[in-house]
Structure 1
Amino acid sequence: MTLVLVADDDADIRDLVIFKLEQLGVEAITAEDGSQALAAVRERHPTLAILDISMPGLSGIDVCRMIRADPEIADTMVLMLTARAQEQDVEHGFAAGADDYVTKPFSPRELVSRVQTMLSRAQT
Protein backbone atom coordinates (compact mmCIF):
# COMPACT_ATOMS: atom_id res chain seq x y z
CA MET A 1 0.00 0.00 0.00
CA THR A 2 1.17 3.52 -0.76
CA LEU A 3 2.36 5.47 2.29
CA VAL A 4 2.01 9.25 2.60
CA LEU A 5 3.33 11.46 5.39
CA VAL A 6 1.29 14.51 6.41
CA ALA A 7 3.35 16.99 8.46
CA ASP A 8 1.52 20.03 9.79
CA ASP A 9 1.39 21.63 13.23
CA ASP A 10 -2.37 22.26 12.79
CA ALA A 11 -4.29 19.17 13.90
CA ASP A 12 -7.41 20.17 11.92
CA ILE A 13 -5.43 20.35 8.67
CA ARG A 14 -3.74 17.01 9.41
CA ASP A 15 -7.09 15.38 10.13
CA LEU A 16 -8.70 16.74 6.95
CA VAL A 17 -5.80 15.66 4.73
CA ILE A 18 -5.65 12.21 6.38
CA PHE A 19 -9.40 11.78 5.88
CA LYS A 20 -9.11 12.63 2.16
CA LEU A 21 -6.09 10.34 1.70
CA GLU A 22 -7.84 7.43 3.40
CA GLN A 23 -10.77 7.90 1.01
CA LEU A 24 -8.23 7.29 -1.77
CA GLY A 25 -7.15 4.06 -0.12
CA VAL A 26 -3.77 5.49 0.83
CA GLU A 27 -2.09 4.72 4.15
CA ALA A 28 -1.19 7.97 5.91
CA ILE A 29 1.06 8.81 8.84
CA THR A 30 1.39 12.17 10.58
CA ALA A 31 3.97 14.45 12.13
CA GLU A 32 3.40 17.60 14.17
CA ASP A 33 6.72 19.29 13.44
CA GLY A 34 9.67 19.21 11.09
CA SER A 35 11.86 16.97 13.25
CA GLN A 36 9.12 14.33 13.51
CA ALA A 37 8.55 14.62 9.76
CA LEU A 38 12.19 14.01 8.91
CA ALA A 39 12.38 11.07 11.33
CA ALA A 40 9.22 9.56 9.81
CA VAL A 41 10.61 9.84 6.28
CA ARG A 42 13.86 8.19 7.34
CA GLU A 43 12.10 5.38 9.25
CA ARG A 44 9.06 4.67 7.07
CA HIS A 45 10.15 5.77 3.56
CA PRO A 46 6.80 7.18 2.39
CA THR A 47 6.21 7.66 -1.32
CA LEU A 48 5.05 11.24 -0.69
CA ALA A 49 5.60 13.76 2.11
CA ILE A 50 3.07 16.59 2.41
CA LEU A 51 4.84 19.32 4.37
CA ASP A 52 3.70 22.59 5.90
CA ILE A 53 6.43 25.22 5.66
CA SER A 54 5.79 26.89 9.02
CA MET A 55 6.27 24.21 11.67
CA PRO A 56 8.06 24.23 15.02
CA GLY A 57 11.71 23.21 14.90
CA LEU A 58 12.60 22.41 11.32
CA SER A 59 10.53 24.14 8.65
CA GLY A 60 9.06 22.24 5.73
CA ILE A 61 11.75 23.86 3.56
CA ASP A 62 14.46 22.51 5.89
CA VAL A 63 12.92 19.04 5.83
CA CYS A 64 12.65 19.11 2.04
CA ARG A 65 16.32 20.09 1.68
CA MET A 66 17.37 17.33 4.07
CA ILE A 67 15.29 14.77 2.16
CA ARG A 68 16.90 15.80 -1.12
CA ALA A 69 20.41 15.70 0.42
CA ASP A 70 20.03 12.14 1.77
CA PRO A 71 20.48 9.51 -0.99
CA GLU A 72 18.45 6.94 0.95
CA ILE A 73 15.30 9.09 0.93
CA ALA A 74 15.95 11.57 -1.89
CA ASP A 75 13.36 9.88 -4.13
CA THR A 76 10.55 10.78 -1.69
CA MET A 77 8.18 13.14 -3.46
CA VAL A 78 7.41 16.37 -1.60
CA LEU A 79 4.29 18.49 -1.78
CA MET A 80 4.34 21.75 0.16
CA LEU A 81 0.95 22.58 1.70
CA THR A 82 1.25 26.01 3.23
CA ALA A 83 -0.24 29.43 3.84
CA ARG A 84 2.97 30.96 2.46
CA ALA A 85 1.56 32.12 -0.88
CA GLN A 86 3.92 34.89 -2.00
CA GLU A 87 5.73 34.27 -5.27
CA GLN A 88 9.10 34.16 -3.49
CA ASP A 89 7.76 31.56 -1.04
CA VAL A 90 6.72 29.33 -3.92
CA GLU A 91 10.13 29.83 -5.54
CA HIS A 92 11.87 28.88 -2.27
CA GLY A 93 9.76 25.74 -2.05
CA PHE A 94 10.66 24.58 -5.52
CA ALA A 95 14.31 25.62 -5.06
CA ALA A 96 14.44 23.39 -1.96
CA GLY A 97 13.32 20.45 -4.09
CA ALA A 98 9.53 20.37 -3.73
CA ASP A 99 7.67 18.53 -6.48
CA ASP A 100 4.47 20.54 -6.02
CA TYR A 101 3.17 23.48 -3.99
CA VAL A 102 -0.40 24.04 -2.74
CA THR A 103 -1.43 27.13 -0.79
CA LYS A 104 -3.87 27.34 2.12
CA PRO A 105 -6.74 27.74 2.17
CA PHE A 106 -6.92 24.86 -0.26
CA SER A 107 -9.57 22.87 -2.04
CA PRO A 108 -9.53 19.29 -0.67
CA ARG A 109 -10.63 18.11 -4.12
CA GLU A 110 -7.67 19.86 -5.79
CA LEU A 111 -5.26 18.47 -3.20
CA VAL A 112 -6.53 14.94 -3.79
CA SER A 113 -6.18 15.42 -7.53
CA ARG A 114 -2.57 16.59 -7.18
CA VAL A 115 -1.73 13.75 -4.81
CA GLN A 116 -3.23 11.22 -7.24
CA THR A 117 -1.16 12.68 -10.07
CA MET A 118 2.03 12.54 -8.01
CA LEU A 119 1.39 8.98 -6.84
CA SER A 120 0.62 7.79 -10.35
CA ARG A 121 3.95 9.27 -11.50
CA ALA A 122 5.71 7.38 -8.70
CA GLN A 123 4.30 4.07 -9.91
CA THR A 124 5.60 4.42 -13.46
Structure 2
Amino acid sequence: MTELPVILIADDDPDLRRLVRMYLESSEYTLIEANSGTDALEKILIECPDLVILDVMMPGMTGWEILRYMRTKSGYADIAVLMLTGIGAALNEMSSPMYGADDYLDKPFQEAELLTKVRRLLSSQRDNKKG
Protein backbone atom coordinates (compact mmCIF):
# COMPACT_ATOMS: atom_id res chain seq x y z
CA MET A 1 0.00 0.00 0.00
CA THR A 2 1.32 3.43 -0.95
CA GLU A 3 1.74 6.02 1.78
CA LEU A 4 -0.25 9.20 1.38
CA PRO A 5 1.76 12.36 0.65
CA VAL A 6 2.29 14.45 3.79
CA ILE A 7 1.53 18.17 3.51
CA LEU A 8 2.42 20.70 6.21
CA ILE A 9 0.19 23.79 6.29
CA ALA A 10 2.20 26.50 8.08
CA ASP A 11 0.37 29.77 8.77
CA ASP A 12 -0.29 31.74 11.95
CA ASP A 13 -3.88 32.45 10.85
CA PRO A 14 -6.12 29.60 12.09
CA ASP A 15 -8.87 30.53 9.63
CA LEU A 16 -6.50 30.25 6.70
CA ARG A 17 -5.16 26.89 7.93
CA ARG A 18 -8.75 25.69 8.26
CA LEU A 19 -9.57 26.88 4.72
CA VAL A 20 -6.53 25.18 3.18
CA ARG A 21 -7.31 21.99 5.13
CA MET A 22 -10.91 22.09 3.89
CA TYR A 23 -9.72 22.45 0.28
CA LEU A 24 -7.23 19.58 0.59
CA GLU A 25 -9.15 17.16 2.83
CA SER A 26 -11.10 15.56 -0.01
CA SER A 27 -7.83 14.56 -1.69
CA GLU A 28 -5.61 11.72 -0.59
CA TYR A 29 -3.17 13.58 1.66
CA THR A 30 -2.03 13.41 5.25
CA LEU A 31 -2.34 16.98 6.54
CA ILE A 32 -0.44 18.47 9.47
CA GLU A 33 -0.47 22.07 10.67
CA ALA A 34 1.89 24.58 12.25
CA ASN A 35 0.85 27.91 13.77
CA SER A 36 4.23 29.68 13.88
CA GLY A 37 7.59 29.66 12.19
CA THR A 38 9.29 27.75 14.98
CA ASP A 39 6.44 25.22 15.08
CA ALA A 40 6.73 24.81 11.29
CA LEU A 41 10.48 24.19 11.39
CA GLU A 42 10.08 21.67 14.21
CA LYS A 43 7.42 19.75 12.25
CA ILE A 44 9.52 19.85 9.07
CA LEU A 45 12.47 18.33 10.93
CA ILE A 46 10.34 15.65 12.61
CA GLU A 47 7.82 14.78 9.88
CA CYS A 48 9.87 15.49 6.71
CA PRO A 49 6.71 16.28 4.70
CA ASP A 50 6.46 15.93 0.94
CA LEU A 51 5.18 19.50 0.59
CA VAL A 52 5.20 22.57 2.83
CA ILE A 53 2.60 25.28 2.26
CA LEU A 54 4.39 28.16 3.94
CA ASP A 55 3.27 31.65 4.93
CA VAL A 56 5.92 34.38 4.86
CA MET A 57 4.97 36.46 7.91
CA MET A 58 4.75 34.26 11.02
CA PRO A 59 5.87 34.67 14.62
CA GLY A 60 9.11 32.98 15.65
CA MET A 61 10.65 32.64 12.20
CA THR A 62 9.56 33.99 8.85
CA GLY A 63 8.76 31.69 5.97
CA TRP A 64 11.86 32.99 4.17
CA GLU A 65 14.07 32.01 7.14
CA ILE A 66 12.55 28.53 7.23
CA LEU A 67 12.97 28.12 3.48
CA ARG A 68 16.59 29.30 3.57
CA TYR A 69 17.31 26.81 6.38
CA MET A 70 15.61 23.94 4.51
CA ARG A 71 17.53 24.58 1.30
CA THR A 72 20.87 24.26 3.10
CA LYS A 73 20.14 21.02 5.00
CA SER A 74 20.62 17.57 3.53
CA GLY A 75 17.38 15.60 3.65
CA TYR A 76 15.24 18.75 3.65
CA ALA A 77 16.55 20.67 0.63
CA ASP A 78 14.38 18.71 -1.79
CA ILE A 79 11.07 19.14 0.05
CA ALA A 80 8.64 21.01 -2.20
CA VAL A 81 7.65 24.45 -0.88
CA LEU A 82 4.63 26.52 -1.91
CA MET A 83 4.76 30.05 -0.50
CA LEU A 84 1.25 31.20 0.40
CA THR A 85 1.26 34.84 1.30
CA GLY A 86 -0.40 38.21 1.12
CA ILE A 87 2.77 40.24 0.47
CA GLY A 88 1.63 41.09 -3.06
CA ALA A 89 2.04 39.41 -6.41
CA ALA A 90 5.07 41.41 -7.60
CA LEU A 91 7.08 40.91 -4.41
CA ASN A 92 6.05 37.26 -4.17
CA GLU A 93 7.00 36.60 -7.80
CA MET A 94 10.43 38.12 -7.22
CA SER A 95 11.17 36.82 -3.71
CA SER A 96 9.84 33.25 -3.79
CA PRO A 97 12.28 31.96 -6.45
CA MET A 98 15.12 33.98 -4.94
CA TYR A 99 14.72 32.12 -1.63
CA GLY A 100 14.29 28.76 -3.34
CA ALA A 101 10.52 28.27 -3.26
CA ASP A 102 9.14 25.88 -5.85
CA ASP A 103 6.03 27.99 -6.39
CA TYR A 104 3.93 30.69 -4.77
CA LEU A 105 0.29 31.61 -4.36
CA ASP A 106 -1.04 35.02 -3.37
CA LYS A 107 -3.78 35.48 -0.78
CA PRO A 108 -6.67 35.54 -1.43
CA PHE A 109 -6.65 32.51 -3.71
CA GLN A 110 -9.11 30.19 -5.38
CA GLU A 111 -9.48 26.53 -4.42
CA ALA A 112 -8.68 25.42 -7.99
CA GLU A 113 -5.42 27.42 -7.98
CA LEU A 114 -4.29 25.79 -4.75
CA LEU A 115 -5.22 22.26 -5.87
CA THR A 116 -3.48 22.68 -9.23
CA LYS A 117 -0.24 23.87 -7.63
CA VAL A 118 -0.31 21.20 -4.90
CA ARG A 119 -0.85 18.39 -7.42
CA ARG A 120 1.89 19.70 -9.71
CA LEU A 121 4.41 20.05 -6.89
CA LEU A 122 3.66 16.60 -5.48
CA SER A 123 3.90 15.07 -8.95
CA SER A 124 7.30 16.73 -9.46
CA GLN A 125 8.35 15.53 -6.00
CA ARG A 126 7.46 11.91 -6.88
CA ASP A 127 9.30 12.18 -10.21
CA ASN A 128 12.42 13.52 -8.45
CA LYS A 129 12.39 10.65 -5.94
CA LYS A 130 12.11 8.09 -8.77
CA GLY A 131 14.83 9.62 -10.92
Given the two structures, how large is their TM-score scaled by the length of structure 1? Answer: 0.95
How far apart are 1:86 and its partner, in Å?
A: 4.5
Q: 1:97 aligns with which of 77, 100, 104?
A: 100
2:60 aligned counterpart, secondary structure: coil
Calculate the aligned-residue CA RMSD, in Å: 1.0
Q: Which has the larger radius of gyration?
A: 2
Percent of residue pairs bearing the same amino acid type: 38
Amino acid of the structure 2 residue aligned with 1:83: G
Q: Which runs of 5+ in 1 are unaligned?
A: none
Change (3 A) 1:42 1:10: same
Counterpart for residue 69 of structure 1: 72
**Aligned equivalents of 2:92, 2:110: Cα separation in 1:** 19
Counterpart for residue 41 of structure 1: 44
2:8 aligned counterpart, secondary structure: strand
Q: Which runs of 5+ in 2 are unaligned?
A: none
How far apart are 1:103 and its partner, in Å?
A: 0.2
Q: Find runs of 4+ consecutive structure 1 residues off by over 2 angstroms.
A: none
Q: Deviations over 1:64-110 (max 9, x none)?
A: 11110111211111000000115234312211110001000111111
Decide whether the 8 Å contact of 1:21 with 1:27 is kept in 2.
Answer: no
**Aligned equivalents of 1:43, 1:10: Cα separation in 2:** 22
1:71 aligned counterpart, secondary structure: coil
Counterpart for residue 26 of structure 1: 29
Given the two structures, how large is their TM-score scaled by the length of structure 2? Answer: 0.90
Decide whether the 8 Å contact of 2:92 with 2:104 is kept in 1.
Answer: no
Counterpart for residue 122 of structure 2: 119
**Aligned equivalents of 2:93, 2:62: Cα separation in 1:** 14
Decide whether the 8 Å contact of 2:89 with 2:106 is kept in 1.
Answer: no
Counterpart for residue 9 of structure 1: 12
Decide whether the 8 Å contact of 1:4 with 1:48 is kept in 2.
Answer: yes
